[in-house]
């Protein structure tokens, strides 16, 4: 593999996986989602061929016109997951037995499990619908996500903090957040009593 190809691979990976979201490929100086897509399309990884792997440049215009057939179309009726019994063979540690002390120790961990009825209730009540709005009808970012509007609001309110909790308090979502938090605590303590 040539040095140039390695550089392009490293460039695309570091661009997409940058720790700071505002510096990620597709997110730099972008005010509309179309501009982020154009930045990704213009990247050398998608516009240059690789002779070693026989990878051709991506034909964006043909893809938009529907003239390119995908190399693989998954069958929606097929199950591509491994059988549950096949998963055990990947474990490198065999013969481990958990005793009561282990069960007590691991019981203190928060697994992030949320009950299905609670998830269904959240979906039915649509309580997060207002939080999932990112763009106005004209394609611009909503004011709460634009940094220039946020800075103007901070100057107006006399605050320079743009942290998570300051945004949370300004959006008046904090009470909703607390009610969900205490509900989760209540449900988890209720479940813990029966274990």
The 3-class secondary structure across 65-92, one letter per residue, is HCCCCCCCCCCCCCCCCCCHHHHHHHCC
Query: Do 184 and 125 share a structural domain?
Result: yes
Q: Is the pLDDT of residue 90 over 60?
A: no
Query: Do 56 and 117 share a structural domain?
Result: no
Structure tokens at 32: 């509309």
Task: Determine the pLDDT at residue 18.
Answer: 87
Whether 47 maps to a domain, the answer reads: yes
| Least confident window among 45-59, 102-116, 151-165, 175-189 | 151-165
Structure tokens at 71: 């190399």
Using a cut of 0.85, tell me whether the model's pTM lies above it.
Answer: no
Query: Do 182 and 121 share a structural domain?
Result: yes
Task: Determine the structural domain holding residue 36 and report its residue range.
Answer: 3-65
| Least confident window among 38-52, 84-98, 120-134, 151-165 | 151-165
Whether 77 maps to a domain, the answer reads: no
Last residue of a domain, one of 65, 80, 103: 65
Query: Do 118 and 55 share a structural domain?
Result: no
Whether 90 maps to a domain, the answer reads: no
Span 96-117, mean pLDDT? Answer: 71
Query: What are the φ and ψ backbone dihedral angles of 50, each rounded to 5 degrees?
Result: -120, 110
Whether 39 maps to a domain, the answer reads: yes
Q: CA angle 111-117-120, nearest 5°?
A: 105
Task: Determine the pLDDT at residue 174.
Answer: 58
Whether 103 maps to a domain, the answer reads: no
Q: Is the pLDDT of residue 159 over 60?
A: no
CA distance 136 to 143: 9
Structure tokens at 135: 């763009």
Residues 4/6/8/9 CA torsion (nearest 10 deg) = 170
Query: Do 175 and 120 share a structural domain?
Result: yes
Structure tokens at 166: 């300051």
**Chain-wide mean pLDDT for the chain?**
73
Whether 76 maps to a domain, the answer reads: no
CA distance 52 to 2: 9
**Nearest one of 137, 139, 169, 173 to 154, comparing CA atoms:** 169
CB 37 within 8 A of CB 139: no
Last residue of a domain, one of 28, 50, 65: 65
Q: How many residues make up the chain in this entry? A: 195
Q: Total domain count for the chain?
A: 2
CA distance 45 to 28: 17
DSSP 8-state secondary structure symbol assigned to residue 57? P
Structure tokens at 174: 């904090």
**Nearest one of 26, 27, 22, 33 to 136, comparing CA atoms:** 33
């Amino acid at each position: 593999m040539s040095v140039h190809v390695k550089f392009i691979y490293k460039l695309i990976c570091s661009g997409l996986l940058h720790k700071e979201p505002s510096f990620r490929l597709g997110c730099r100086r972008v005010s509309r989602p179309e501009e982020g897509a154009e930045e990704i399309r213009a990247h050398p990884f998608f516009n240059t061929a690789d002779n070693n792997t026989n990878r051709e440049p991506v034909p964006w215009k043909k893809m938009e016109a529907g003239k390119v057939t995908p190399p693989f179309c998954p069958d929606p009726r097929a199950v591509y997951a491994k059988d549950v019994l096949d998963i055990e063979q990947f474990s490198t540690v065999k013969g481990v037995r958990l005793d009561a002390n282990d069960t007590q120790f691991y019981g203190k961990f928060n697994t992030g499990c949320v009950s299905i009825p609670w998830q269904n209730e959240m979906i039915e009540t649509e309580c997060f619908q207002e939080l999932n709005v990112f763009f106005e009808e004209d394609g611009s970012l909503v004011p709460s996500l634009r940094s220039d509007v946020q800075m103007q609001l901070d100057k107006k309110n006399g605050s320079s903090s743009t942290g998570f909790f300051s945004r949370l308090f300004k959006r008046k979502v904090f009470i909703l957040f607390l009610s969900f938090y205490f509900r989760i605590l209540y449900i988890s303590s209720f479940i813990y009593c029966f274990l």
